[in-house]
Chain A
Amino acid sequence: MTIEHHPDIATLMAFSAGTLDGPYATVIATHLAMSEGGRETLSHMDSIGGALLTAEPAALMSSGSLDRLLGTLGDEKIEVVPHDERGDDALPLPVQSYLPEGLVAVRWKWTGPGVATADLAWGDDGKSRLMLLRVGAGRRVPEHGHGGHELTLILQGAYRDRFGVFAKGDIADHDEDIEHQPIAEPGEDCICLVAVDARLTFRGRLMRVLQPLFGI
């Protein structure tokens, strides 16, 4: 798998700092599970945290804190390196807990011609959500802008828009000022893992009428 489209550096820094809302963190972790190069970049960013921690002033520890730590070590179970014995076609681990029976078992909800979605989870504040988007082979998603930050990771198939072709493992990291109209490539339905922090806004009169029906 060759990854052509990567997350914005600022998004990856937020992941490294640990400040992304749950749905976004899940999409980024799933992408990184598919991208060794991405994991290397993340390890560079984590070093910023390491450097800042090293530079933190030392707070005063309570007396006895070290004894308390050493006293509880005996109860701790030592962890060993895990082995991933799942098949090559298994879903990446970070998304698998939402889809224990795989993509074939998803209960899709019709949201437009050739387009279906399935909600997976909500963010902490209920303002963002994690969902799957399925676009039929060769079908187009209505042109839309974003009410906020949208992360789209391709799990299966591919789509094309004015930014290029997005295939398995690629991520589209769009801010609110972006408008685009993805068209699924022919051959196979395109299935994406999506995090959104607001309702998408569809352009055009007809689409404004339809949007409440779509619910996306």
Chain B
Amino acid sequence: MYAVVMTNSDIGQPPVLPGIDDPASLMLRIAQQQDKSALAALFGLFGPRVKSMMIKLGAGDALAEDLVQETFLTVWRKAALYSNQRGAASTWIFTIARNLRIDQLRRQSNKPYEDLEKVTLASDSPTGSMLVERHQVIDRVTAALTTLSEDQQEVVRLSFIHDMPHARIAETIGIPLGTVKSRLRLAYERLRPMLEDLQ
């Protein structure tokens, strides 16, 4: 829907076609052809960002590199399970890295996530929407994140990137737990139109 509206408002501009090296195309090449050069390209795009995220959580350089390796081995192993109609490649890579950090940095079980992934794969049909350029939608969400208030951006980043439980966010920035939660809810309400356009 949103893509159509954008096209109408940009009459005269050619539609942006999927590039050969966009993350969704790379994922499909890995899934369908076990294309190692596509994995290498995806690693080039996201490996350094996954490493940055792991370092923010306190991983040393060597451990962060190991976690990047493990993330992309999982991408390779699970590529056939990936469907670009389920979400952007970056989102999928984020969830893999998140599960690894629960398991290896926090030493807790990520089994609830693994089990839920099995349920989703076994029961949910892909949404069947047009092959919207997922990374473009992600770009819109990224842009929308910068329009949140600084307070909201801070709690979202501390949660998703710095891996802090809500109670620790409250301690760290010195606000009540209820305020952390209400800022997150407000941030989600603000992002919701962009996020739901993913479907």
A residues neighboring B (CB under 8 Å): 8-10, 13-14, 16-22, 25-26, 28-30, 32-33, 36, 39-40, 43-62, 65-66, 68-70, 72-73, 76-84, 92-94, 96-97, 124, 175
Contacts and interface: CB of A to CB of B under 8 A. Distances in A.
B79 interface: yes
A18 B105 CA distance: 12
A175 B157 CA distance: 23
The B contact surface, by secondary structure, is: helix
B55 A59 contact: yes
Contacts of A70: 36, 39-40
Closest 6 CB pairs of A and B: A50-B91, A29-B112, A58-B48, A49-B94, A10-B181, A44-B195
Given A10-B185, A84-B122, A93-B119, 18 more contacts: A21-B108, A30-B112, A32-B116, A36-B123, A47-B137, A47-B198, A48-B156, A50-B138, A52-B156, A53-B50, A53-B97, A56-B53, A56-B161, A69-B43, A78-B76, A81-B81, A81-B122, A97-B111
Contacts of B110: 18
Given A57-B52, A76-B73, A48 B195 contact: yes
B139 interface: yes
The A contact surface, by secondary structure, is: helix
What bracket does the count of chain B residues touching chain A fall in? Answer: 35 or more
Contacts of B133: none
22 contacts: A9-B185, A10-B182, A13-B159, A21-B165, A29-B113, A33-B116, A43-B199, A47-B137, A48-B141, A50-B93, A53-B46, A53-B50, A59-B51, A73-B36, A76-B73, A78-B80, A81-B81, A84-B118, A94-B119, A97-B111, A97-B115, A175-B178
A93 B123 CA distance: 12
B147 to A, nearest CB: 12
B189 to A, nearest CB: 8
Contacts of A66: 40, 43-44, 47
Nearest to A86: B122
